[in-house]
């Protein structure tokens, strides 16, 4: 599997006129090698410059991981003295033949520290964004990736349902977020969740990316719950909205509108249409109901080893969907000072349409 990924990457590098690729620890490095490294004060770099053998620079204490790599690598290790790191990286760049070549990097991942080391080690190299090639490599998921996300969705859904049993008036947003995290971990999620759950109640629910606070849940609140689980390195990302006791009629009305917009966005997905058309389908429902100005973000984003990746579902995006692309559909309406509703599902494009990986009911969940 990984050798095939490496071959596809090298094909894409040729298409995008990249002689080499320099990667920091992160999802792309793991996707290709099967190895996981954390960004820390010690630099780690994977240098891919075909036809040379892959080169990796890493601390001596991490070298034991290389036995699990999915393809051979020429390793350059270093100790704890930072004064010696630059020379080791220079030797690695020389082995990869980096100087004088066009080297792609991940613009959202490669740090200033590693870039400085690379520039010093290969002063004649040209460093530019390899984002297009990397996105093309990872944007269409294979069957094993989709299955991992399906399991991550299932863990998240079961954790949410168990959390609901603990919801009560007077508990804080932080307490509910902690309970949800605990239930997902107990249900099989990997410890590193895709993001900390968002629990936003009452007026806070009108802020799409609110942080859980010490605000207590109260009767009449809407509560936006945005959460996800992790399985085998792949993520889920879901949102449902709770109603605490009796909520005012307009808040119930916007919940119905958002559910309809979510259904329209899910139904729109199929091979050949643009990502923008998914956004337009969901947005049209909310605009027709008179709440267009209160839908303040894109309809969704790609999902996989990262919580946010390609494709991005905004109205102007001309990227055409293809079999295996996974993304979220998450329309919302947010009434400042009063409350908001968001409903989010994870979907995968199939050969002839789109399948929702998530299946929880999309109506308001009555609690309290």
Question: In whole angstroms, what is the distance from residue 211 CA to residue 199 CA?
Answer: 7
- Across the range 112-119, mean pLDDT stands at 97
Please indicate, yes or no, whether residues 243 and 193 belong to a single structural domain of this protein. yes
Question: In whole angstroms, what is the distance from residue 97 CA to residue 74 CA?
Answer: 13
Please indicate, yes or no, whether residues 113 and 153 belong to a single structural domain of this protein. no
- Across the range 180-204, mean pLDDT stands at 98
* Domain membership of residue 174 as a residue range: 143-367
Please indicate, yes or no, whether residues 304 and 224 belong to a single structural domain of this protein. yes
- Across the range 120-140, mean pLDDT stands at 96
Domain boundary, last residue among 122, 138, 154? 138
- Across the range 119-124, mean pLDDT stands at 98
Please indicate, yes or no, whether residues 177 and 285 belong to a single structural domain of this protein. yes
Q: What is the percent of the chain with per-residue pLDDT over 70, rounded to a whole number?
A: 99
Question: In whole angstroms, what is the distance from residue 72 CA to residue 93 CA?
Answer: 17
pLDDT at 89 over 80: yes
Domain boundary, last residue among 108, 138, 168? 138
Please indicate, yes or no, whether residues 281 and 148 belong to a single structural domain of this protein. yes
pLDDT for 295-319, tens place per residue?
Answer: 999 999 999 999 999 999 999 999 9
Burial class (CB in 10 A: 0-12, 13-18, 19+), 80: exposed
Please indicate, yes or no, whether residues 25 and 127 belong to a single structural domain of this protein. yes
Please indicate, yes or no, whether residues 184 and 303 belong to a single structural domain of this protein. yes
Question: In whole angstroms, what is the distance from residue 3 CA to residue 32 CA?
Answer: 8
Question: In whole angstroms, what is the distance from residue 258 CA to residue 291 CA?
Answer: 10
pLDDT at 1 over 60: no
Question: In whole angstroms, what is the distance from residue 152 CA to residue 161 CA?
Answer: 15
pLDDT at 3 over 80: no
Please indicate, yes or no, whether residues 77 and 162 belong to a single structural domain of this protein. no
pLDDT confidence of residue 368: 83
- Across the range 170-187, mean pLDDT stands at 98
Please indicate, yes or no, whether residues 129 and 241 belong to a single structural domain of this protein. no
Based on the structure, what is the number of domains in the chain? Answer: 2
Q: Helix, strand, or coil here: 127?
A: strand
pLDDT at 28 over 90: yes
Closest CA to 45 of 19, 62, 18, 9: 62
pLDDT at 167 over 80: yes
- CATH number, residue 73: 3.40.350.10
- CATH number, residue 275: 3.90.230.10
Domain boundary, last residue among 110, 138, 166? 138
Please indicate, yes or no, whether residues 125 and 165 belong to a single structural domain of this protein. no
pLDDT for 200-251, tens place per residue?
Answer: 999 999 999 999 999 999 999 999 999 999 999 999 999 999 999 999 999 9
pLDDT confidence of residue 2: 53
Please indicate, yes or no, whether residues 275 and 201 belong to a single structural domain of this protein. yes
Please indicate, yes or no, whether residues 213 and 314 belong to a single structural domain of this protein. yes
pLDDT confidence of residue 253: 98
Query: What pTM was estimated for this model as a whole?
Result: 0.94
């Amino acid at each position: 599997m990984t050798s095939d990924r490496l071959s596809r990457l090298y094909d894409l590098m040729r298409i995008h006129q990249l002689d080499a690729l320099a990667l920091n620890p992160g999802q792309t490095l793991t996707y290709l090698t099967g190895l996981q490294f954390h960004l820390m004060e010690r630099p780690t770099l994977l240098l891919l410059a075909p036809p040379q053998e892959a080169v990796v620079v890493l601390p001596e204490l991490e070298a034991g991981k290389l036995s699990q790599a999915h393809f051979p690598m020429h390793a350059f290790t270093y100790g704890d003295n930072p004064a010696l790191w630059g020379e080791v990286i220079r030797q690695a760049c020389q082995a990869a033949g980096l100087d004088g070549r066009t080297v792609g990097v991940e613009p959202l991942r490669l740090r200033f520290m590693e870039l400085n080391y690379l520039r010093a080690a290969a002063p004649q190299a040209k460093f530019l964004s390899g984002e297009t090639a990397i996105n093309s490599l990872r944007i269409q998921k294979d069957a094993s990736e989709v299955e991992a996300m399906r399991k991550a969705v299932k863990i998240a859904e079961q954790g949410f349902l168990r959390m609901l049993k603990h919801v009560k008036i007077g508990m804080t947003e932080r307490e509910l977020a902690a309970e949800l995290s605990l239930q997902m971990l107990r249900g099989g999620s990997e410890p590193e969740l895709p993001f900390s759950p968002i629990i936003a109640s009452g007026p806070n629910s009108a802020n799409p990316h609110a942080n859980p606070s010490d605000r207590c849940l109260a009767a009449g609140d809407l509560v936006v719950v945005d959460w996800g689980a992790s399985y085998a390195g792949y993520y889920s990302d879901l949102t449902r909205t709770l109603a605490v006791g009796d909520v005012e009629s307009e808040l119930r009305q916007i919940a119905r509108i958002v559910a309809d917009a979510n259904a329209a966005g899910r139904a729109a997905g199929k091979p050949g249409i643009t990502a923008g058309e998914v956004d337009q389908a969901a947005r049209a429902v909310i605009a027709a109901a008179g709440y267009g100005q209160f839908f303040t973000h894109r309809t969704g984003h790609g999902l996989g080893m990262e919580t946010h990746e390609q494709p991005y579902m905004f109205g102007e995006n001309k990227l055409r969907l293809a079999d295996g692309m996974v993304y979220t559909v998450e329309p919302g309406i947010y009434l400042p000072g009063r409350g908001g509703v968001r409903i989010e599902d994870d979907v995968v494009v199939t050969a002839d349409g789109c399948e929702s990986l998530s299946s929880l009911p999309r109506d308001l969940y009555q609690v309290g």
